[in-house]
Structure formats: C-alpha cells, structure tokens
Amino acid sequence: MLLLRSRSRGVPGALAAAGVLITSIAAPVAATAEPSPALDRFSFSVGAFNADPKFSASVETPYGVLRSNELKPGRVTMPRITADVLIGDSQGISFDYYRYKRDYDGQVGANTTIGGFGALSAIGNANLSAQLDFAKLSYKWWLGSGNTVFGLGAGAAYYRATFGASALVGVNGQVRSVSERSSDNAIAPLLEIGVRHAITPDLRLFADASGVWKSSGRFHGNIYNASAGVEWFPVKNVGLVLSYGVTNIDLTRDGSFADSRLKVRLQGPSAFVKARF
C-alpha cells in the first residue's frame, strides 16, 4: 500500500473549523489606526486552481513495488478556499484549503525485484487514482507601512493523501491481479513569506511562498508552493483575484519492505471571488 491508515480523523475537521471560526475572531477586532491599504481587516475567498499536473508514484503491493514513470493525466480544476483576519495593524491569521483529485489509465512501467517474489511488472494498462487534501493555518507578522508590506508566517499544515492502484502484474511468469487503496494523514510545520502592494485601495498586487517539511515518521515529505497575482475590487467589498502558482508535492511512506512514494507537480492559474470587510 502507498500510505498508512488514518489515525487522526478529527484533525481535518479541527483545521477546517479553525478557518471558519476566523470570522468570529474578526468581529471583535478593533484598531485605533488604519492598517496598510494593501491589507484587509477580514477577507474570505472562494475559487479554483486550474493546473496541468505531472505525477509519479511507486506502490507497495503484496508482490513487490509497482513504479510509474512521470505521468501527465491532463488539466484538472481544484476547489480552493482562503481566509485572512488582521489582528491589530501588523499581525494576523491565515487559512488555506485545497483538494487535488485525479485518475489515470495507461501504461506504468518497471520491473522490480523484491525479496523472494522475483520480478514484478505490469501487464497492459493500469489504473492509478490520487487524492490530496491540504489545509494550513498560520500566524503572520506584517512588516512595513504605507502601500507595501512584507509578511512572515509560521504555523501548521495538515495533509491527507489517498492513493489507489489496480493492474494485472506478472510475477515469476504468473499473472496476478493487484488492487490496492489506502490513505494516511500527517501534521507538519509551515513557514511562509509574502509581499503585498497597493497600487490603489482597489487594485493590489501580491506574491507568496510557503514550505511544509516533515522529515520523521512513517508518512513524511515536503510540499512547496509559490504564487503571484492581482486583486481588483470593482465594488468596495467584493473583488476578483487572479494568480498563477506552482506547487510541488513529494510524500513518502516507509513500508515493511520498500518505500512508497507520491510526487505531484501542479502549475497553472487560479481565480477567486473575494469578499473583504
């Protein structure tokens, strides 16, 4: 199997609830001075990330490890939700959530020798399915004043991956059917940097980068993201956000006799409707 069974089902609900409860934090926040025009007291965005993914995987089976080459299953649109609340004039809380889900039917290739099972190879096409739920919650410090501010953030990220594979495989001259599906989740530390610039209060530019890295445990790896974009508010409290981003995902599960690995690269534009208060 690719991943461990879930041991902490309450964590994603807790992170999602934390993101939703940002609204309850925003209400009592009061400030004696106006923050930078590049920042909002409270904002909530709903949109989608349209990416052209590349992914590869190695799947632990009862007979050995089945490895794929780099696959390009075609463009995919993923839902995404973000929320930010400013505490005072220079600190805040940020929440982000997205889900990647994709199926692939085609050739996976490689012969692998594991233990006493001999050579394992796929016969014909295989079906691969991958789903990743990612949520992050961070505390941010905004440095500077005026129309341009720089941000530093630290927090925690939650990721849950589910992977499935089914194929006919040849093992020592015999044909066997393999069907594996499993999932696991983990929490990892998060670091962020960002910059905001207000051309006008209703037209703003931004750039962000973040990194998640977990080196210990049976389900470990890293997730890096970078994006840049523009916000435009044709009306005071509702606007449109357009951005372009790149996300690299590399997760490994330590198996009983071999490691399983999932690598995904997502690159493409995002569009959001943003409400600010």
Q: How far apart are CA 8 and CA 156, in angstroms?
A: 15
pLDDT for 107 equals 57
Question: What ranges do the domains of the chain cover?
Answer: 10-276
Q: Which of 264, 269, 257 is nearest to 129 (CA)?
A: 264
**Identity of residue 76:** V
> In 3-state terms, what secondary structure has residue 4?
coil
> What is the CATH T-level fold of the domain 10-276, as seen in this structure?
Lipocalin (2.40.128)
pLDDT for 47 equals 98
DSSP state of 122: E
DSSP state of 215: -
Would you state the structure tokens that stand for residue 139, as one six-digit string? Answer: 């505390």
**pLDDT tens, position by position, 180-206:** 777 789 999 999 999 999 999 999 999
Q: Report the b/e string of 224-248 with b at 16+ CB within 10 A.
A: ebebebebebeeeeebebebebebb
The H helix count followed by the E strand count for the chain is: 2, 13
Q: What number of other Cβ atoms are within 10 A of residue 32's Cβ?
A: 6
Q: How far apart are CA 227 and CA 232, in angstroms?
A: 17
Q: How far apart are CA 99 and CA 157, in angstroms?
A: 14
Q: What number of other Cβ atoms are within 10 A of residue 71's Cβ?
A: 19
Element (H, E) at 58: strand 54-61
pLDDT for 3 equals 38
Element (H, E) at 214: strand 203-214
pLDDT for 191 equals 98
Q: Which of 204, 248, 82, 75 is nearest to 153 (CA)?
A: 82
In the predicted model, residues of the chain with pLDDT beneath 70 are 1-33, 60-66, 105-125, 169-173, 255-259
Q: Which residues pair with 243 in a beta bridge?
A: 229, 270
Mean pLDDT for all residues in the chain: 81
At which residue do the structure tokens 């909530």 appear? 44
**Identity of residue 244:** Y
**pLDDT tens, position by position, 40-72:** 999 999 999 999 888 877 776 666 666 777 778
Distances (CA, A) of 192 to 68, 211, 212, 268: 32, 7, 9, 20
Element (H, E) at 223: strand 219-232
